[in-house]
């Protein structure tokens, strides 16, 4: 069966979903009473077959994608595993992934390592072994014109970030088209939702671009490489270990991407400079004003 073809924003945020944010009353800097939206945060306990794996804090959408992507990125679920069911109990805040293969990760769970990701970001001690085996597509390219187009589309799409803030977004893209856009309180959760969708729908990573609102940390680089995606973008900055890992893996790493500006710290050979930044600046400012965003926000 050929891989599924995705359209622009096949998956996108649902800022009007009442489960994902709640109105809260307060006062502003002048003491005036206001009502504002804040994102929800709830526990989700993940089981793989009969074994409890982890409890994550999440906004609560797409539990099947989050569970599957988490297990895949932690090397607990293989690409060739047959998933027999994914069951979610909303009342108990539990999701169970069942596979044909018998699993036992008791020893693996003992090697859990805390990472710098917000909420409960973790990697496991032997994750680097899989990281080192991944070969990213050297022929993949990213045009700077695509970067500017993606910023406009992503930053002005309806989202929980624009409605309530305090949330991270991750987007799977192809050329200048955002395909899958998800959000969560932790960037690692948003990454895992993308990974879960790709695994469950047989989406190839070789020609994809990954965009995140969060920092380009070691965890972000490891997960992007594990997913096989050759290009990683962020409007935020880098960590030194993240840059080192990206260079080691041959990952194209582009950060501090705001308006006409960005910085490439790894994999520059994939970048095609086909846009004039001087022309983009005016377009970006105009787009920001139209969307009600601060200057330089796109």
Tens digit of each residue's pLDDT (9 = 90 or more) over 2-28: 556 799 999 999 999 999 999 999 999
* Number of domain units in the chain: 1
Helix 240-249 crosses helix 218-226 at what angle (to 10 degrees)? 20
In the chain, how many H helices and how many E strands?
9, 16
- Per DSSP, 216 falls in state B
- Report yes or no on 59 lying in a domain: no
d(C-alpha 105, C-alpha 291), whole Å? 47
Q: Domain for residue 212, yes or no?
A: yes
- Backbone torsions φ then ψ of 14, nearest 5 degrees: -125, 75
For 210, the domain range is: 142-291
Instruction: Count the Cβ atoms, other than its own, within 10 Å of residue 2.
Output: 6
Name the pLDDT band for 223 (thresholds 50, 70, 90). Answer: very high
Whether residue 125 lies inside any domain: the answer is no
Residue 204 lies in a domain: yes
Compute CA 113 distance to the chain's CA centroid, rounded to the nearest angstrom: 20
- Quick: pLDDT tens for 91-106: 999 999 999 999 998 7
pLDDT in tens, 105-114: 877 776 665 4
Q: How far from each other are the two terminal CA atoms of the chain, in whole angstroms?
A: 39
User: Which CATH number goes with the domain that contains 258?
Assistant: 3.40.140.10
For residues 153 and 161, the answer to whether their CB atoms sit within 8 Å is no
Would 202 be classed as within a structural domain?
A: yes
d(CA 168, CA 277): 27
What's the predicted TM-score (pTM) here? Answer: 0.89
Residues 145-161: tens digit of each pLDDT: 999 999 999 999 999 99
Is the confidence at residue 296, as pLDDT, over 60? no
SS3 call for 92? coil
Q: Is residue 241 part of a domain?
A: yes
Residue 282 inside a domain? The answer is yes
Domain assignment present for residue 12? The answer is no
- 1's CB contacts (< 8 A; 6+ apart) are 202
């Amino acid at each position: 069966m050929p891989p599924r073809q995705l359209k622009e924003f096949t998956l996108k945020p649902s800022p009007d979903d009442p489960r994902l944010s709640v109105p809260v009353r307060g006062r502003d800097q002048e003491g005036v009473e206001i009502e504002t939206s804040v994102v929800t945060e709830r526990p989700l306990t993940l089981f793989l077959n009969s074994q409890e794996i982890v409890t994550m804090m999440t906004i609560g959408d797409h539990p099947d994608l989050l569970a599957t992507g988490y297990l895949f990125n932690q090397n607990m679920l293989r690409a060739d595993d047959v998933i027999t069911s994914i069951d979610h109990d909303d009342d108990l805040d539990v999701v169970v992934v069942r596979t044909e293969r018998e699993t036992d990760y008791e020893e693996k769970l003992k090697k859990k390592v805390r990472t710098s990701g917000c909420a409960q970001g973790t990697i496991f001690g032997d994750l680097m072994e899989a990281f080192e085996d991944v070969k990213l597509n050297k022929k993949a390219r990213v045009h700077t014109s695509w970067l500017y187009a993606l910023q406009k589309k992503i930053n002005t799409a309806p989202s929980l970030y624009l409605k309530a803030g305090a949330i991270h977004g991750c987007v799977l893209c192809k050329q200048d088209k955002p395909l899958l856009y998800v959000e969560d309180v932790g960037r690692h959760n948003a990454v895992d939702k993308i990974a879960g969708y790709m695994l469950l729908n047989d989406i190839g990573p070789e020609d994809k671009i990954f965009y995140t609102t969060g920092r380009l940390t070691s965890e972000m680089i490891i997960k992007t490489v594990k997913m096989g995606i050759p290009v990683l973008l962020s409007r935020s900055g880098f960590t030194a270990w993240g840059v080192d890992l990206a260079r080691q893996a041959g990952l194209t790493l582009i950060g501090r991407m705001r308006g006409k500006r960005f910085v490439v710290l790894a994999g520059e050979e994939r970048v095609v400079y086909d846009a004039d930044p001087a022309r983009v600046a005016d377009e970006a400012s105009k787009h920001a004003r139209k969307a009600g965003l601060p200057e330089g926000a796109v």
